[in-house]
Structure 1
Amino acid sequence: MNTGRRRLRAPPRPLAPRPILDVDLDADPARAPAAISPAGALLVFWSAGVPVGQRVVAATELPSSPANASPAGARHGIGPAAGSGSRPGLVPAAADDVTVVVCTRDRPEGLARCLAAIGRSTAPPREVVVVDNAPSSEATRLVVSRLPGVRYVREPRPGLDIARNTGLLAVTTEFVAYTDDDAVPHPDWTWRIRQAFDAASIVGVTGLVLPAELDTEAQVLFEDHAGFGRGCVRRDFDAGFLTRHRRWGAPVWEIGAGANMAFRRSAVEEVGGFDERLDVGAAGCSGDSEMWYRLLASGGRCRYDPAAVVHHHHRRDLDALRRQMYSYMRGHACALLVQFERHRDPGNIRRLLLSLPRYYGRRVPGLLVRRLLGSARPADALLGPQLRGWLAGILFYARARGHGRGGAGHAERRVTR
């Protein structure tokens, strides 16, 4: 009897690693590898050098060899035309009016990997600026010192949005692109980003973020429930997007992710720079989405172009993932209040105080029942951190209100080198 009870209360079965397989729909099968893994996997379909679709498939659904990869793509509704909005097949353009800013804090190995990837760009940016945010050692400076064409900027005050603003002050080109030290940009990233700014009204561009690996349970869990992917079809967002969602709050996170974003430098300066109350080192997240919100509200247009690809290394262990989900919700809750403060759109308050509590209120009873029956799901471990983050975000905003907004104070700051 006791053994049975122990079985009922067993923890959820860990999620298995998930191989990531790139399937080239245009490839000659005769020159492709002999076989594709028999395990379940994430398939990323490519055509003319850009991603056109992705699917998580079970082992029984996998193409047994590259020769039938194209039929497998068709079976999932994926083909060369599926991502037509991303304009595949263009000749690489110049990116010499783009500066790439990488904000980092005490992750020299990841930074070196990121910078090596940027160094393989088919259209190199004019400059790469590394902002070393509140470092505890000289490791980051040492990594940068070995790389010609990479400029080192030290920012002693902790905070990702502080580092982003410091990087912005160091930029002299018309366009600034941001990526993270745990991201690996595709070789075509810089010119695809630059190419997407094909109209003066486009002030911000984001791209597709694919997982670099799904080797641990935490990485699979994050990709399934909070991943950065926004699909393989180009989308444009304007002020009408805010208007259509005014009642319940515009889902500006649909525009993309901060690990893969770029701006017209002047547009970000005109709206006052990144809000330093938000993102890592402060509220925890949403400095990127709050910036997109402001740009749309000012009459600009933001574009999501999946042709601009970076690969992201997700957190590898569950404790780090729980902390991340807490920070994400804390930042999101704070950003909703910041957006209401700036624009008075009531949907931000409705989302914070009605939609989110209603959503979590529906999930909590099921979680409690599953715990009682010993049938917990892996994603259940993320609910508690998110609920705590929601409350913490409201409290953080109450303490930080009126501080760190950027604006005039941002414009007057100087870069410390």
Structure 2
Amino acid sequence: MTTAPVFDTDADSRPAVVLDVELSEPLPRVAAIGPDGRRVHQAWALIRLHTEPLGALLADVPEYGLSPADLAAAIDDQLGDVIRPRLGGAAIPTGGFTPATEPPFLASRRTVLAAAPDITVVVCTRERPGALARCLDSLLAQQYPGFRILVVDNAPATEATAEVVRSAARRGPVEYLKEPKAGLSFARNAAVAACPGQIMAWIDDDELADPHWLAEVARALAEHPEADVVSGVIVPAELESRAQIWFEQFGGHSKGRGFRPDVFGPASADRQNPLYPLPPFGTGANMTFRAGVIERIGGWDTALGAGTPAMGSEDTLAFTQVLLAGGTIVYQPTAVTHHYHRRDFAGLQKQMVGYGTGLTAAYTSLLLGRPGLLWRLLRLAPTAYRDLTGKDSLRVSTLQDDFPRELLGANRRGMIAGPRAYLRGRRAARAKLRQHP
């Protein structure tokens, strides 16, 4: 049994403070001692200009704190090549500034919002009323003209979720749907059945939506009429423990994709195989599907996802199916959500097992449905092996010396268990369908 390192629960230490920095406003000072008395060791910052996310950085916080000038120097050092051209070559300002005219990014958003499509936001949840209430608060604060929120209560044991939805519905367009069959994919499929012909944006209950999240989803849909799916970027909402830091080192939810927009589809096949590496284009905690796309791929696989032996990867399979069918996925890093990672080591270890299990379970589902893909996957096996074992591979190149290597072992154990987990999950899903037709 693996135990968490002692410093993971150090009451006097805070690994990192999370900042949201707007360059047109005065830069903040980061104190070395937080309001709770804990020593702050690093600052993680999402850097924006006129609300547009341009990148993220991690800077050490010295004993005397991080001054605005120090923060500006760190921004310039890590993101200067991206930011300086936006400032006309000027230095990173510390005191903020007011642009003489409306910035192009804001002007283009205004144009998008003038013709914005209606969007249904779906939150699938089970017995997490506190997290759900926090998520709904962020969704009700969206600066977007036409949206509604559908909360899918998955196999509820209490009325807690329904009560949260009733409270939120008094403040905005929030609706409730109960799905008795336990499992995230059953909940997702219930939402799809309830929303025919609608654009559907998906967010998890342990996230917060940026106020401009839906506006930036709409921007991607407008700029890419061919897009079947839009995937945004997921950043940490907090970094209160070493486990949360380690999750970010492993790639977090964004897996090192950065803040450069990208398009995956038929035209990108020469640089990105639809089958591997997965997923290069997003995750289910921040994704939007155009109307009819989910139905065309056969819906969500009910043997995958949270609440199944596979534990996840229903989103990975869906993305892959879209690409294999000749569809297009747009990565839109201006569409931001903020995720609360697991704070404890045991929770992170379980998550790493789940990532591995879900990945190979998704491949099992894919091969059972399309056996002819086996030879294409075998040709990719050497690349996958190098990624698993190579010291410079994308999987491990971002890991620091303090990253517990047993977490990588947990991930690999999950991969070995994935195929059997999928078969067990498929049998269980069939039994649930017989119980609740």
CA shift in 2, pair 1:335/1:241, >3 Å: farther
TM-score (norm 2): 0.78
d(CA) in 1 for partners of 2:367, 2:410: 24
User: What letter matches 1:210 in structure 2?
Assistant: V
Of 7, 13, 18, the residue aligned with 1:14 is: 7
For 1:316, what is the secondary structure of its paired residue? coil
User: Which residue of the partner structure matches residue 288 of structure 2?
Assistant: 262
- Over aligned residue pairs, what C-alpha RMSD do you find? 3.2
Of 90, 94, 117, the residue aligned with 2:138 is: 117
Alpha-carbon contact 2:126-2:154 (below 8 Å) kept:
yes
TM-score (norm 1): 0.81
d(CA) in 2 for partners of 1:144, 1:70: 42
User: Which residue of the partner structure matches residue 3 of structure 1?
Assistant: none
d(CA) in 2 for partners of 1:193, 1:284: 27
d(CA) in 2 for partners of 1:311, 1:145: 24
Of 330, 349, 354, the residue aligned with 1:303 is: 330
User: Which residue of the partner structure matches residue 37 of structure 1?
Assistant: 31
For 1:268, what is the secondary structure of its paired residue? helix
Gaps of 5+ in 1: 1-9, 364-375
1:379 aligns with 2:404: yes
Alpha-carbon contact 1:19-1:213 (below 8 Å) kept:
yes
Of 249, 256, 259, the residue aligned with 1:224 is: 249
User: Which residue of the partner structure matches residue 177 of structure 1?
Assistant: 201
Alpha-carbon contact 1:12-1:377 (below 8 Å) kept:
no
CA shift in 2, pair 1:219/1:275, >3 Å: same
CA shift in 2, pair 1:130/1:380, >3 Å: same
TM-aligned CA deviation for residue 379 of structure 1: 2.3
CA shift in 2, pair 1:378/1:70, >3 Å: closer
Please show how residues 5-404 of structure 1 align to structure 2 within 5 Å: 14=7, 17-27=15-25, 29=26, 32-33=27-28, 35-38=29-32, 39-59=41-61, 64-67=66-69, 69-78=71-80, 79-80=82-83, 88-89=105-106, 90-92=108-110, 93=113, 95=116, 97-148=118-169, 149-172=173-196, 174-198=198-222, 199-229=224-254, 230-242=257-269, 244-246=271-273, 249-282=275-308, 283-343=310-370, 344-345=372-373, 346-349=375-378, 360=388, 377-399=402-424
For 2:192, what is the secondary structure of its paired residue? helix
For 2:279, what is the secondary structure of its paired residue? helix
User: Which residue of the partner structure matches residue 4 of structure 1?
Assistant: none
TM-aligned CA deviation for residue 196 of structure 1: 0.8
User: What letter matches 2:321 in structure 1?
Assistant: R
- Give the fraction of aligned pairs with identical amino acids, expressed as a percent: 33
TM-aligned CA deviation for residue 289 of structure 1: 1.7
Alpha-carbon contact 2:109-2:215 (below 8 Å) kept:
no
Alpha-carbon contact 2:109-2:219 (below 8 Å) kept:
no
d(CA) in 2 for partners of 1:146, 1:336: 41
CA shift in 2, pair 1:155/1:358, >3 Å: same
How many pairs were matched up? 380
CA shift in 2, pair 1:190/1:361, >3 Å: closer
User: What letter matches 2:7 in structure 1?
Assistant: P
For 2:348, what is the secondary structure of its paired residue? helix
Alpha-carbon contact 1:252-1:292 (below 8 Å) kept:
no
Alpha-carbon contact 1:18-1:40 (below 8 Å) kept:
yes
User: What letter matches 2:361 in structure 1?
Assistant: C
d(CA) in 2 for partners of 1:83, 1:159: 45
TM-aligned CA deviation for residue 21 of structure 1: 2.1
For 2:21, what is the secondary structure of its paired residue? strand
